[in-house]
Amino acid sequence: MSNVPGIPRTALIWLLVAQALVIVPHLVHLPLWMIALWLGAAGWRVQILRMRARYPNGWAKGGLVLLVLAGILLSRGTLVGLDAAVVLLIATFTLKLLEMRTRRDALVVIFLGFFCVVTAYLFEDGILAALYSLLPVTALLAALVGLQRSGFAERPWPTLRLAGGLMLQAMPLMVLLFVFFPRMGPLWSLPLPSDKGITGLSDSMAPADIAELSRSSALAFRASFEGQVPPRGQLYWRALTLERFDGRRWSQSSYADVPISPKWSKAGEPLDYSIVMQPSGQRWLFALDVGEMGQDSGRMMSDFRWQRTRPVDRPLLYQVRSWPEAVREAQGEPLGIRQALQLPEQGDPRSRAWAAELKAQYPQSDALVAALLQHFNQQPFAYTLRPQPLGQDSIDDFLFNTRRGFCAHYAGAMTFVLRAAGIPARVVAGYQGGEFNPNGNYIQVRQFDAHAWVEYWQPGQGWRSVDPTFQVAPERIERGLEEALSEEDGFLDDQPFSPLRYRELAWLNQLRMSWENLNYGWQRWVLGYQGEQQLKLLQNWFGSLDWQRLALALVGTGTLLLGLLAFWLLKPWQQRSDPQREAFRTFERLLARHDVRRESGEGPRTFAMRAARQLPEQAQQIEAFAHCFEQQRYAAGPASRAPLMRALKALRRALPWRLSR
C-alpha cells in the first residue's frame, strides 16, 4: 500500500479541515448518525494515508450507500425533498473521501464541498453565517492549491496564505457582480426546510394559537418609516381577516380569496414605510390599513389583506404607503356583508340572548359597540397567557364563567356578539406594536406581538376597527406584552437566556440593539437587494438605464478592476532589469542580421556553437561571448557587467555591416 497517487499530503489535510468546517453549520439539523459517518470516513482516510488500511472494495461502498439511504429514510421519512437532499449531498461529500485516489477524484470532492457550503444558506442566511462561510471556502481553496504540482504540496501554511490571498483578490469582482449582475427571479420555488423552525400566524385561529405565538421571541418583520414613527397604539399590522366561525375556530372564508379589489377612499395623511419580512412559508404580507404596494410585491384581496403569488421563503423587502383614516367599503359588498354575519346554527345560547338584549337597548351600532367595550372594561375580565380551558359553548364559557383570556378570546367573543346582534363583524389577525430600535430608527415586530382585534361595518362609514383587549389591558397596546404580564410569570418563561428578558440592563440592551441593527442592514441591503432595489440604485447612479448600458458598465468596471489587480500583482515598478538577459538579446539580434537565428527551445551554448559553424570568421568572438555569458549566468562568475559588454563589443566589431534580406 502506498500514498494516494496524485494527491499531496497538504491537499488531503486541508480537504479534511474543509469537510469539518462545511459540516459545522449543518449540525443543528443533521441527524446524529451523519456526524459518526464523517468521523469514521475521516479516520479511515487517515489510516489509508498512513498505509494501515485499504480502500473500500465495491461491496463495502455499496453497503455504505445503502446504509446512508436507510438512515435518510428513517430520519427524514422520505428520500425526496429539500431536507433529504441536503443530507444526501453531505453524505456524498463525506463518502467520496474514501474512494479518492487521483487528482480528478479530489477535484470532485472539492467541488462538492462548494455546493455544501451553499446549502447552509437554506437554513441560515444571517451575517454571521455569511462570514463563517468564508472559512470553509478558504479551506477548500487551500486544498485546491495543494493539489497543484508545486512547492506548496508539502507546505500547509503557505498554501493557506495563498488561498486567503486569492479570496481577497476575488472580493472586488464579487462585489462588482453582486451590484451589477441582473437580479432574476427564481424559475421555481423550493419549499422551506422543515427544520428551520418557522413560526407565525396560520390561516385559522383558536384562542390558544396566538397565546402560543406570544411565547416566541422569533422576529416577524422590521418596518422603517419615512419621517416620524407613529405611536405604538396606532400600529395594527394586518395579516389576515377571519370571517368563518365553526363554534371553536375562526378561519378565512371563501370570499376572502375573491380576486377583486375592495372599494375604499383615501383620507388623512399617508404613512410611507418599508418592511423587511422574515420567511414565513405563507403568502400573506403585513401592512397598516389601508395600504398600497407595487404590483411586484403583492395584491390586495377583497378583505383588505395583502397576498403574494408565492410563499415568503426568504427575507422580503417591500414598500408600502398607508392611509390609516381611509374609508373602507362605505357601501359594502353584499357577499362580504352576509359572510360577516355568519354564525353556527346552534351553540352559545347565553351569548345570543345577551346580544338580543343589547340590540334592544342600543339600536344604533356605535352605541352597542361602545356598550360592549364598556362591559369588558368594567367587569372583572383578566388578561392572561394561561386561561382556563373552555367548554363546548366556548363563547358562553368565556363571557360568563372564566372571564380570563388572551386577545383572541376577546376579539372572538366580541365578533360573535356583534354578529348575533345583527352587526356585520369579523376578526382581524396580525401583529400590534413593536419595539423601537433607536440605532436604526425602525420598528421590529416579533411573534409575541401577535394580536387579534375586531372590525365591524356600518352603512356609509364602512369597516371600523376596535380593540376589546385595550379595555382589559391597555398596557398591552401602549407598552407591550411584557408590561401587560408584569404580574404573571409568562413572558418568555421558557427562554431563560433570551436577551429580551433582560432589557432592564442598559448595556446588554444597547448591545442587543446594535447587533439587531447590523442584521437589519444586512437583510435590507444585501439579502433584500433584488430586482426592484437593484434597478432603483443603478438608476440613481446612471439615470435612465437599459440592458446595453448595464452591460457596458459591467464590462468596463470589471476590466478596470482586473487591470488594477494585474498591476498590483505584477508590480512593474518593483521589477529589476536583467543586464545579462539584455546582453544576450543584443547578441541574438546581431547574429540575426547575418541569417543566424535562435530556434525555439535552443540553449545558449547550442546556439553559439551553431552560430560559430555558420560564421567561422567570427567563431572566436562568438565563443568568447557565450563562455562569458555562461560564467556570469550559471557559474557564479564575476558580478560585473563589464566583461560581458566587452565580449559583445568585440563581436560587433568583428561582424561585417551586412543585413540579412
- One-character DSSP codes across 246-308: -SS-EE--GGGG---PPPEE--S--EEEEEEEPP-SSSEE-EESSEE--TTT-EE-TTS-EE-
Q: What is the pLDDT of residues 338-364, one digit of tens each?
A: 889 999 988 899 999 999 999 999 999
Asked if 630 and 491 sit in the same domain, the reply is no
Closest to 273 (Cα-Cα) out of 219, 327, 317: 317
Listed range (16-20, 239-243, 405-409, 484-488) with the worst mean pLDDT: 484-488
What is the predicted pLDDT for the residue at 546? 61
pTM of the model: 0.69
Asked if 221 and 129 sit in the same domain, the reply is no
- Please say if 467 is a catalytic residue: yes
- Pick the last residue of a domain from 470, 487, 506: 506
- In the block, residue with C-alpha cell 370571517: 243
Asked if 232 and 151 sit in the same domain, the reply is no
Is 15 part of any domain?
A: yes
What is the Cα–Cα distance from 514 to 517, expressed in whole angstroms? Answer: 5
Is 352 part of any domain?
A: yes
Collapse the DSSP code of 223 into the 3-class scheme (helix H, G, I; strand E, B; otherwise coil) and give the result: strand
- What is the greatest pairwise CA distance in the chain? 134
What is the Cα–Cα distance from 243 to 255, expressed in whole angstroms? Answer: 9
Is 188 part of any domain?
A: no
Residue 197 scores a pLDDT above 50: no
Residue 283 scores a pLDDT above 50: yes
**Local confidence band at 660 (pLDDT 50, 70, 90 cut-offs):** very low
Element at 453 (helix H, strand E): strand 450-458
Sorted by sequence, the CB contacts under 8 Å of residue 637 that are 6+ apart come out as 628, 631
Domain residues for 588?
A: 579-654
* Mean pLDDT, the chain, whole residue set: 83
Q: Which residue has the higher pLDDT, 387 or 140?
A: 140
* Spatial contact of 387 and 405, defined as CB atoms under 8 Å apart: yes
Q: Which residue has the higher pLDDT, 550 or 153?
A: 550
Reading the block at residue 656, the C-alpha cell is 561585417
- Pick the last residue of a domain from 456, 476, 506: 506
Q: Radius of gyration of the chain from Cα atoms?
A: 38
Q: Are strands 284-285 and 425-432 parallel, antiparallel or unpaired?
A: unpaired
Asked if 112 and 249 sit in the same domain, the reply is no
Q: Which of 393, 409, 451, 628 is catalytic?
A: 451
> What average pLDDT does this structure show over 92-116?
90
DSSP lists the bridge partners of residue 428 as 241, 453
Query: Letter for the amino acid at 472?
Result: V
Closest to 142 (Cα-Cα) out of 126, 172, 123, 164: 164
Asked if 268 and 334 sit in the same domain, the reply is yes
Is 571 part of any domain?
A: no
Asked if 478 and 356 sit in the same domain, the reply is yes
* Spatial contact of 35 and 71, defined as CB atoms under 8 Å apart: no
Q: What is the pLDDT of residues 205-221, one digit of tens each?
A: 776 666 566 667 888 99
Cis peptide before 86 (omega within 30 of 0): no
Asked if 43 and 145 sit in the same domain, the reply is yes
> What average pLDDT does this structure show over 114-133?
87
Residue 637 scores a pLDDT above 80: no
Residue 495 scores a pLDDT above 70: no
> What average pLDDT does this structure show over 560-588?
75
What is the predicted pLDDT for the residue at 489? 58
Asked if 219 and 94 sit in the same domain, the reply is no
* Spatial contact of 628 and 644, defined as CB atoms under 8 Å apart: yes
Element at 163 (helix H, strand E): helix 156-180
What is the predicted pLDDT for the residue at 377? 92
Cα 417 to chain centroid distance, Å, stands at 45
- Cite the beta strand spans of 407-449 per DSSP E: 425-432, 435-437, 442-446
Listed range (261-270, 278-287, 373-382, 543-552) with the worst mean pLDDT: 543-552
Q: Kindly report the number of other CB atoms within 10 A of residue 574's CB atom.
A: 6
Listed range (195-204, 240-249, 610-619) with the worst mean pLDDT: 195-204
- Please say if 116 is a catalytic residue: no
Is 556 part of any domain?
A: no
Q: Which of 348, 396, 449, 467 is catalytic?
A: 467
Q: What is the pLDDT of residues 227-240, one digit of tens each?
A: 889 998 899 999 98
Q: Which of 407, 409, 449, 628 is catalytic?
A: 407
- Pick the last residue of a domain from 454, 475, 506: 506
What is the predicted pLDDT for the residue at 176? 77
Asked if 310 and 406 sit in the same domain, the reply is yes
Sorted by sequence, the CB contacts under 8 Å of residue 107 that are 6+ apart come out as 144, 147
Residue 148 scores a pLDDT above 60: yes
What is the predicted pLDDT for the residue at 273? 94
What is the predicted pLDDT for the residue at 658? 55
Asked if 145 and 241 sit in the same domain, the reply is no
Q: What is the pLDDT of residues 12-38, one digit of tens each?
A: 889 999 999 999 998 888 888 999 999
Is 363 part of any domain?
A: yes
Is 548 part of any domain?
A: no
- Please say if 449 is a catalytic residue: no
Residue 48 scores a pLDDT above 60: yes
Is 190 part of any domain?
A: no
Burial category of 210 from C-beta neighbours within 10 Å (exposed 0-12, middle 13-18, buried 19 and up): buried
Residue 295 scores a pLDDT above 70: no
**Local confidence band at 576 (pLDDT 50, 70, 90 cut-offs):** low
Asked if 147 and 286 sit in the same domain, the reply is no
What is the predicted pLDDT for the residue at 374? 94
Asked if 276 and 335 sit in the same domain, the reply is yes
Reading the block at residue 166, the C-alpha cell is 486569492
Closest to 446 (Cα-Cα) out of 409, 504, 495: 495
CA 309-521-315 angle, 5° bins: 20
Number of folded domains that form the chain: 3
